[in-house]
């Protein structure tokens, strides 16, 4: 019986299974035949929020000062209690008071419930003035719409701030450091000073000449310009002039001519109304946009900081080490505890490579022009002078200076951009000085030698347009006044070697080189590559001041190649770059990084930084080709047909260089001269390289060469040995400062 029972049971199970499934056409007890399976039930489970991820995101936002994101992560009860503005302010004020430069955190523990959680974390504020402040914080969180939200109170900043307590930093600020020239002569220091001006209604006519003459000597102004301002203003006006220390203005103060207005003040004083002002820079009060940054660095926000040039670059040294004591105080101001402190340390002083005499001479040479002069030692990269004109008086940024209100507005609004350092930020076509590059490319190509001949006539006819040599334009100028073209600069240069082509600055010869390399030899990038290897089209790396890179592009057409060969077209260079590669030519091929800081000197002890020459590359010239180039540059200055010879006649020192006249695209051409001295063996002084540009003025041989000469004479004699120009020959100075003033008493 047992086997039968098992057989019956199996048959019953099979039957019931068939009936339920409805399979194989059998009737289903659920309502008829079907082949579709029953639907599978789906479970929808909402994942639990990650409390660690939420607090991590919150603290990462704190590291970025992203208070808005932090606020969005607060529980509704906390957002009801504090506005975004107040929340942000409380955090920001606390971080600023701490001088918190960096924040680190670590998540520690968590206790989680369905609706509530507690998360512990360790936070460390790395502060400048109070050291590291570490606290363990426990944060309560609430699950709102399946997101963990933070229940906030001020104890989450620091537990000591519970109950409305505050953080207070008591600051100790050292005096700002001084800036000196290479010989220890002051350029910037804290000093008593006098602001000088003229009240036109109180001028003593018998002393008017003394007034304008003495102010001219002190302020570096032309007395005739001062007189013109007086005449243009009429009586009853105040005309700001300049500033000076008692020692600088001793003679003027002793004479005290009628109409002179004198106001004494104390401030950071820039001597000689600013030596190398664009390079040295200036200071101003911390702006609202800079406030948080500097509070986190340990400043209290009332200091003046470097805003440009060396003043900005050396801020950490010139500002010294701020001191401070961080305390927790009650809302009533009672100190509860001291969290940390640091003693202040005296500021360092900066000694520049600038030579005060050379710098003053360069600025004087450019007084009536827009342009720049750079002087640097050829074997080291030391910058001895860096002048940019028009320059400006950094003392005008001092609010205590009575000339500030009017003078600063005039300075900022003038269209001549005096705040731009044309020496390192001005980007210009190089004109014929670029022929040095083209000649180098020609020699290195192996297709030209120093004696390769070329018949230099008026015209270049390789292109669809006819291009003219500079001698053609001189001839046209002679014809326009009814003269014949007989002078040496009015007739074609004729048959020339490559060296003579540079000496005569023959445009057709160098157009031919650019065209030939591009068209016949598929070497269209040779000149651009040599230019880049000379340091053009890239920053020099001077670092201590702002600079631009210029531009050197590969030519894509014959016209591009021809224009580039004479430094026109899209060629853009800075005077600093030009002085740098001229120094390399002079020293045998080493490109040094230009530097303007000689050393950084603490009050006590050894310097923390000392100038060291730093080679950054070498010129891409074989030694024999470098010698050929050097010979040609000497021919420019010494051969009777050289383009620089006339305005260097009588100079007692050997120099080499290249003239340039660059079409500006706007008005008259820019005048260039770049060269170097060859007198170290005879004088014991390091040889120097000099780059000069005068904007929109005319030819380099006429305007830039005399300024180059003046700098050479200043270097060896202490001052120029003759006037820069014969004004009767070339006309009056094209640029003069714009007079300005206000009614006296306003």
Quick: pLDDT tens for 339-356: 999 999 999 999 999 999
Quick: pLDDT tens for 14-53: 444 444 444 444 344 334 444 445 455 444 444 556 878 9
Residue 5 is predicted with a pLDDT of 47
Quick: pLDDT tens for 118-163: 999 999 999 999 999 999 999 999 999 999 999 999 999 999 999 9
The dihedral formed by the CA atoms of 163, 169, 170 and 172, expressed in degrees to the nearest 10 = 170
Residue 723 is predicted with a pLDDT of 83
Burial 287-321 (b: 16+ CB within 10 A, else e): eeeeeeebbbbbbbeeebbbbbbbbbbbbebbbbb
Residue 221 is predicted with a pLDDT of 86
Task: Print the SS3 string covering 67-123.
Answer: HHHHHHCECHHHHHHCCHHHHHHHHHHHHHHHCEEEEEEEEEEEEECCCEEEEEEEE
Average pLDDT rounded to a whole number, residues 66-70? 98
Positions of CATH 3.40.710.10 in the chain: 431-457+492-730
Positions of CATH 3.10.450.100 in the chain: 51-163
Average pLDDT rounded to a whole number, residues 510-514? 98
Residue 736 is predicted with a pLDDT of 39
What's the CATH number for 431-457+492-730?
3.40.710.10
Residue 63 is predicted with a pLDDT of 97
Average pLDDT rounded to a whole number, residues 482-511? 96
Residue 48 is predicted with a pLDDT of 55
Q: How far is CA 727 from CA 113, 226, 368, 509, 593, in A?
A: 91, 20, 12, 34, 38
CATH topology for the 51-163 domain: Nuclear Transport Factor 2; Chain: A, (3.10.450)
pLDDT at 302 over 80: yes
Write phi, then psi, for 290 (nearest 5 degrees).
-95, -10
For the whole prediction, is pTM greater than 0.75?
yes
Average pLDDT rounded to a whole number, residues 629-655? 97
574/56 Cα distance (integer angstroms): 49
Q: How far is CA 726 from CA 156, 368, 731, in A?
A: 76, 14, 8
Residue 19 is predicted with a pLDDT of 40
**Window from 119-133, 397-411, 632-646 with minimum mean pLDDT:** 397-411
Q: How confident is the model at residue 375 (pLDDT cuts 50, 70, 90)?
A: very high
Average pLDDT rounded to a whole number, residues 633-659? 97
Q: Are 429 and 664 in contact (CB under 8 A)?
A: yes
pLDDT > 70 fraction of the chain, expressed in percent and rounded: 91
pLDDT > 90 fraction of the chain, expressed in percent and rounded: 84
Write phi, then psi, for 322 (nearest 5 degrees).
-65, 145
Average pLDDT, the chain: 91
Q: Are 466 and 689 in contact (CB under 8 A)?
A: no
Other beta carbons within 10 angstroms of residue 252's beta carbon come to: 23
368 closest CA partner among 176, 230, 491, 225: 225
Q: How confident is the model at residue 728 (pLDDT cuts 50, 70, 90)?
A: low
Quick: pLDDT tens for 218-277: 998 889 999 999 999 888 899 999 999 999 999 999 999 999 999 999 999 999 999 999
Quick: pLDDT tens for 276-300: 999 999 999 999 999 999 999 999 9
Residue 114 is predicted with a pLDDT of 86
pLDDT at 732 over 90: no
**Window from 109-113, 447-451, 496-500, 716-720 with minimum mean pLDDT:** 109-113
Residue 39 is predicted with a pLDDT of 52
Average pLDDT rounded to a whole number, residues 714-724? 92
Average pLDDT rounded to a whole number, residues 436-448? 98
Q: How confident is the model at residue 665 (pLDDT cuts 50, 70, 90)?
A: confident
β-sheet bridge partners, residue 172: 323
């Amino acid at each position: 019986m047992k086997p039968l029972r098992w057989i019956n049971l199996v048959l019953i199970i099979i039957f019931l299974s068939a009936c339920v499934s409805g399979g194989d056409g059998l009737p289903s007890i659920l309502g008829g035949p079907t082949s579709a399976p029953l639907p599978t039930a789906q479970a929808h489970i909402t994942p639990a929020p990650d409390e660690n991820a939420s607090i991590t995101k919150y603290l990462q936002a704190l590291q970025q000062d992203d208070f808005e994101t932090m606020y969005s992560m607060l529980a509704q009860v906390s957002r009801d209690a504090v506005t975004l503005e107040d929340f942000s302010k409380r955090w920001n004020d606390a971080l600023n008071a701490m001088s918190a430069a960096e924040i680190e955190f670590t998540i520690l523990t968590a206790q989680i419930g369905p609706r509530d959680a507690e998360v512990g974390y360790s936070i460390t504020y790395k502060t400048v003035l109070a050291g590291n402040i570490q606290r363990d914080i426990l944060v309560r969180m609430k699950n709102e719409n399946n997101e963990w939200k933070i229940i906030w109170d001020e104890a989450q900043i620091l537990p000591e701030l519970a109950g409305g307590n505050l953080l207070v930093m008591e600051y100790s600020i050292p005096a700002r450091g001084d800036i000196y020239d290479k010989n220890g002569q002051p350029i910037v220091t804290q000093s008593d000073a006098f602001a000088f001006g003229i009240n036109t209604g109180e001028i003593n006519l018998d002393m008017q000449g003394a007034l304008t003459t003495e102010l001219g000597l002190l302020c570096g102004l032309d007395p005739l310009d001062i007189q013109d301002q007086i005449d243009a203003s009429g009586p009853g006006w105040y005309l700001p002039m300049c500033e000076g220390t008692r020692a600088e203005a001793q003679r003027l103060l002793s004479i005290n001519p009628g109409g002179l207005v004198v106001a004494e003040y104390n401030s950071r004083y820039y001597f000689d109304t600013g030596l190398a002002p664009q390079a040295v820079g200036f200071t101003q009060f911390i702006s609202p946009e800079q406030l948080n940054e500097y509070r986190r660095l340990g400043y209290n926000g009332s200091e003046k900081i470097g805003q440009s040039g060396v003043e900005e670059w050396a801020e950490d040294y010139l500002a010294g080490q701020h001191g401070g004591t961080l305390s927790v105080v009650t809302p009533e101001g009672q100190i509860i505890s001291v969290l940390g402190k640091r003693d202040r340390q005296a500021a360092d002083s900066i000694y520049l490579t600038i030579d005060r005499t050379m710098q003053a001479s360069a600025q004087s040479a450019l007084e009536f022009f827009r342009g720049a002069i750079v002087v640097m030692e050829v074997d080291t990269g030391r910058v001895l002078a860096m002048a940019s004109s028009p320059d400006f008086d950094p003392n005008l940024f001092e609010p205590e200076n009575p000339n500030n209100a009017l003078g600063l507005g005039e300075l900022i609004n003038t269209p001549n951009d005096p705040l731009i350092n044309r020496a390192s930020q001005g980007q210009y076509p190089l004109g014929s000085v670029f022929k040095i590059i083209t000649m180098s490319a020609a020699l290195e190509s192996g297709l030209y030698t120093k004696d390769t001949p070329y018949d230099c006539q008026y015209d270049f006819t390789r292109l669809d347009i006819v291009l003219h040599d500079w001698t053609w334009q001189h001839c046209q100028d002679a014809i326009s006044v009814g003269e014949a073209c007989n002078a040496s600069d009015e007739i074609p240069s004729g048959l020339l070697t490559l060296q003579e082509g540079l000496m005569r600055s023959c445009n057709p010869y160098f157009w031919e080189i650019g065209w030939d390399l591009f068209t016949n030899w598929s070497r269209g990038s040779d000149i651009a590559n040599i230019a880049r290897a000379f340091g053009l089209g890239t920053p020099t790396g001077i670092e201590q001041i702002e600079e631009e890179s210029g531009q050197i592009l590969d030519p894509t057409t014959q016209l591009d190649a021809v224009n580039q060969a004479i430094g026109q077209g899209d060629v853009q260079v800075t005077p600093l770059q030009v002085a740098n590669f001229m120094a390399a030519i002079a020293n045998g091929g080493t490109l040094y990084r230009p530097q303007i800081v000689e050393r950084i000197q603490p009050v006590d002890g050894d310097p923390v930084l000392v100038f060291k020459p730093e080679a950054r590359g070498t010129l891409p010239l074989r030694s024999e080709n470098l010698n050929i180039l050097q010979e040609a540059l000497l021919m420019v200055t010494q051969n009777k047909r050289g383009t620089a010879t006339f305005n260097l006649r009588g100079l007692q020192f050997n120099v080499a260089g290249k003239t340039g006249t660059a079409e500006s695209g706007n008005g008259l051409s820019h005048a260039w001269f770049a060269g170097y001295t060859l007198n170290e063996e005879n004088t014991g002084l390091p040889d120097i390289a000099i780059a000069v540009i005068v904007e929109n003025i005319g030819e380099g041989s006429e305007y830039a060469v005399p300024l180059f000469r003046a700098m050479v004479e200043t270097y060896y004699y202490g001052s120029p040995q003759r006037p820069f120009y014969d004004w009767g020959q070339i006309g009056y100075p094209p640029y003069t400062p714009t007079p300005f003033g206000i009614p006296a008493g306003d």
